Every structure is written in structure tokens, then in C-alpha cells.
Amino acid sequence: MNLSRKTSGKIQTVTGWIEPDLLGPTLMHEHVLCDITPPELASQGGLEVEITLENVWEIRYHWTRHLGNSRLNREDIAVQELKRLREAGGQSLVDLSCVETKRNPLGLRRVAEEARVNIVMGCGHYTEEFLSPEIAKKSADMLAQEMISDIFKGVDGTDIRSGIIGEIGCSYPWTETEKRGMHAAVTAQQETGAAISVHPGRNPEAPHEIVQFITDAGGDPTRTIMSHIDRTIFGCDEVLRLADTGCVVEYDFFGIESSYYPFQEIDLPNDAMRLNMIRTLVDEGHLSRILISHDICTRTRLVDYGGHGYGHIFANIIPMMKRKGFTDQEIDTILVQNPCRLLTFV
């Protein structure tokens, strides 16, 4: 299949093509409709926990422990949340839910139309613990053809097409099955001209290993977004070494102000610490390789359930950036120009 390059120069949203200059301020790593319930919790079954004032802090702190918290399945709530994003100054976001995390093309289109926010949808597969046995058995070529079809034809029998590849799940150590999925993502990138967004394994070496793999496979590191740097790399030298590879470095836990991380014994940074790391990257010449987002994938991070919502970066982080000496041009590059370049098909 080489229908490619008819896509070149445009951005593909769930409601159709848009010209890049209509994208505006953009969150590059979010989930609007998804289910990222940890498989172990899902296997226990039971009833969803109702979030109340009494339990909301506990559920927010231990965000993976409570059934229902990792399910964003109410379109009416999604519409309200995205309207709040628009009121705060955002225009577009990328929903990186993939097959395993219950990507919902028809729901995303309805929500995007009603809230009047551009939504770009992802494709590909998540980490191995989430994969069905059938998908884990597929060849790299089969996986690549599915992603190419999601981008050029449409997802799940609809005409709603993906506009980015990812988030592609990697564990640490990186499994052979996941490597096959990444190889497929590189093939899909070569065929379609889309960017790849990576969910790296939870180890400081994981992003380096992944960028090297993508480069060796013929992918474009400058169109590779390394997500979740907040929980993966902690030293300035380490993150500069990653940016030196040419890949895009994404701090996408904005709004998580807790130092506790449920998956691993690490100290999560807060928003101010994230911005200090980003300042270092900018000062060292990496402005064009930085993205920021919230990676909202739980109810407790939505305004409806007492959380900060998708508008947090616009309402609270941009003013903090200004206080820390970021210029308007730097903020525009991080929130508008970089997303625009990465979402525009080449």
C-alpha cells in the first residue's frame, strides 16, 4: 500500500484534515476516552469505586488501586472537560489511547465535535502485560499494515483515521514482542510520514536503547517523541544526553504534584522541578525538542472529580513559566510550533 504523501503537509484529526496553522496550543499526550486499568486489578473484577470527598485524596494518591479510576468512559464528562480546556486557552490535543487501552474513535469524534477541540488519535499497541495472545503472536509486517491502515483508511471499520503512531508500549527490560511492535511502528512511519510517540520502560537507559533501535531500523529520531521523561530520567546530564540524539523529550506528568509513584521506587518531580529541567534543556539549545502535557488517564485528574483537568498547563503552568523567565516565543514553540511540526505529515 502506498497511498502515502497525499497526507503530506497536513494534520489528521478525528474529524478530518486540518491545515497546520489551525492547530494552535496543543497537548501532545493525553487520554480523553480510555481504560488503562492495570490487568491485575481488572482480573479481580468487582464494582467501580464511587469517588467522594472522603476518598478522593486516597484514590488520587494510589491512583492505580481503585477499580474505575483508570476508566474514562463518560462522553458527557469528556465534553465538559474539553470545553474547560478551550476556555483555558487550549485548542487541540492528542489522545494516545491504543488498542489495549480502549481507543474509541467514534466517541472521540463525537466529543471533539461537541467541545470544538481538535483531537488527533493514535494507533499501535501498549506494553506486553496488556496484550492479547493473538496480538502478541502477530508479525512486525502485520502490525505495520494495521497501523498504516489506521492512518490511511480508518480505525475499526470507521472512516476515522489516526494522525500519530503511539503510544507504543515498552517495558524494561524491553521484550521481544514489544520490539516487534516498535519495528512495525518504524515501518508505519516510513510509509505514512507520521511521528511516533513512545511509552518507554521505567529505567533511565530505556529511552536511549529505544532511540538507537529506531535509528538502526531506519526511523527518524527527530520525529520520535519520548514520553514520560518525568518518571524515567532524573539528572540534567542524562536528559541532555537523550536530547543530543535528536529525539523529542516530553514532560507529560504536569499536574501530578505527588512525589509518590505507584509503579516503582522513584521520586516524582513536581511542576516547578519539571520546568527547571526544561529550562536547562532550552538553555542548552534543545527548545525545538521539548513537549509538555498532562497524560490524564484517571478520573481523579479531571475537574469533575476534583482534579486539575486538561486546562492546568494553560491556567497555571504558563504563568509559572513566565515567572521563571521563559519568553513568550519559547512558550509558543513548546505548546504550538513543536506540536505543529510533529503532527504535520512529512
Interface with Zn ion includes 199 (CB under 5 A)? Answer: yes
Beta pairing, strands 34-35 & 11-13:
unpaired
Of residues 189 and 227, the one with the C-beta less far from Zn ion: 227
Cell (9 digits) for 150 = 489506521
Of residues 109 and 199, the one with the C-beta less far from Zn ion: 199
| Residues 194 and 161 sit within 8 Å (Cβ to Cβ) | no
Neighbours of 197 (CB within 10 A): 28
Of residues 150 and 167, the one with the C-beta less far from Zn ion: 167
CB of 166 to Zn ion, least distance (A): 9
**Residue 269 — φ and ψ, nearest 5°?**
-75, 165
Of residues 167 and 230, the one with the C-beta less far from Zn ion: 167
Binding segment for Zn ion among 136-144, 166-174, 304-312, 316-324 (CB under 5 A)? 166-174
Binding segment for Zn ion among 195-203, 257-265, 280-288, 331-339 (CB under 5 A)? 195-203
Of residues 79 and 292, the one with the C-beta less far from Zn ion: 292
Residues 242-281 binding Zn ion (CB under 5 A) are none
State the Cα–Cα distance between residues 146 and 154, nearest whole angstrom: 10
CB of 295 to Zn ion, least distance (A): 6
Of residues 313 and 321, the one with the C-beta less far from Zn ion: 313
Binding segment for Zn ion among 165-173, 234-242, 283-291, 316-324 (CB under 5 A)? 165-173
Cell (9 digits) for 317 = 503552568
Sequence-ordered strand ranges (E) for the chain:
11-13, 16-18, 26-30, 34-35, 71-72, 92-95, 118-121, 165-169, 196-199, 224-226, 248-251, 290-292
Beta pairing, strands 118-121 & 92-95:
parallel
CB of 35 to Zn ion, least distance (A): 14
CB of 167 to Zn ion, least distance (A): 5
Of residues 63 and 152, the one with the C-beta less far from Zn ion: 63
Q: Give me the 116-155 binding string for Zn ion, x by CB under 5 A, dash otherwise.
A: ----------------------------------------
Q: Which residue has the cell 478551550?
A: 86
| Residues 254 and 313 sit within 8 Å (Cβ to Cβ) | yes
Size of the site for Zn ion (CB under 5 A): 2
Nearest in space to 143 (alpha carbons), one of 132, 324, 215, 38: 132
CB of 119 to Zn ion, least distance (A): 17
Interface with Zn ion includes 301 (CB under 5 A)? Answer: no
Cα dihedral 302, 117, 314, 83 sign? negative
State the Cα–Cα distance between residues 247 and 245, nearest whole angstrom: 6
CB of 34 to Zn ion, least distance (A): 11
CB of 330 to Zn ion, least distance (A): 26
Query: Which pairs with CB-CB distance under 8 Å and at least 24 residues apart come from 51-56?
Result: 51/299, 51/300, 51/305, 51/306, 53/306, 56/300, 56/305, 56/306
CB of 317 to Zn ion, least distance (A): 20
Residues 45-104 binding Zn ion (CB under 5 A) are none
Q: Please identify the residue of the shown chain whose CB is closest to the bound Zn ion.
A: 199
Of residues 167 and 271, the one with the C-beta less far from Zn ion: 167
The residue type of 226 is M
Neighbours of 260 (CB within 10 A): 12
CB of 184 to Zn ion, least distance (A): 18
Of residues 30 and 167, the one with the C-beta less far from Zn ion: 167
Positions touching Zn ion (CB under 5 A) are: 167, 199
